[in-house]
Amino acid sequence: MRQMTNEHGNTINVIEHIMLTNLWEYYMIEAPDANGIAFALVVGHEIEMGSVSIHEIEPYIMSRSTDLDDLMPAPQWQWCTNDVLA
């Protein structure tokens, strides 16, 4: 898990990163529930938070990782490190 913060001071815990074949990115904030629904910061046509069905996007996943150390933060967000922006 890694924390990101935005210019408004909102902080989220990112547990996984998913990239689709259309280059949309999902910064997963929670694990999928029993129905495959999870909450994520989605970077697509817009940058927004919302619910996502893992079952719907699964055929299009080209990258999926919980190793977030070398990952760039989402646009308009920054990684936090020990309560200091990275």
Task: Give the C-alpha separation, 14 to 77, whole Å.
Answer: 12
Q: Where are the domains of the chain?
A: 2-85
Q: What is the pTM of this model?
A: 0.92
Q: What is the pLDDT of residues 3-22, one digit of tens each?
A: 999 999 999 999 999 999 99
Token pair listed for 51? 């619910």
Task: Give the C-alpha separation, 5 to 20, whole Å.
Answer: 23
Q: What is the pLDDT of residues 29-65, one digit of tens each?
A: 999 999 999 999 999 999 999 999 999 999 999 999 9
**One-letter amino acid identity for 45?**
H
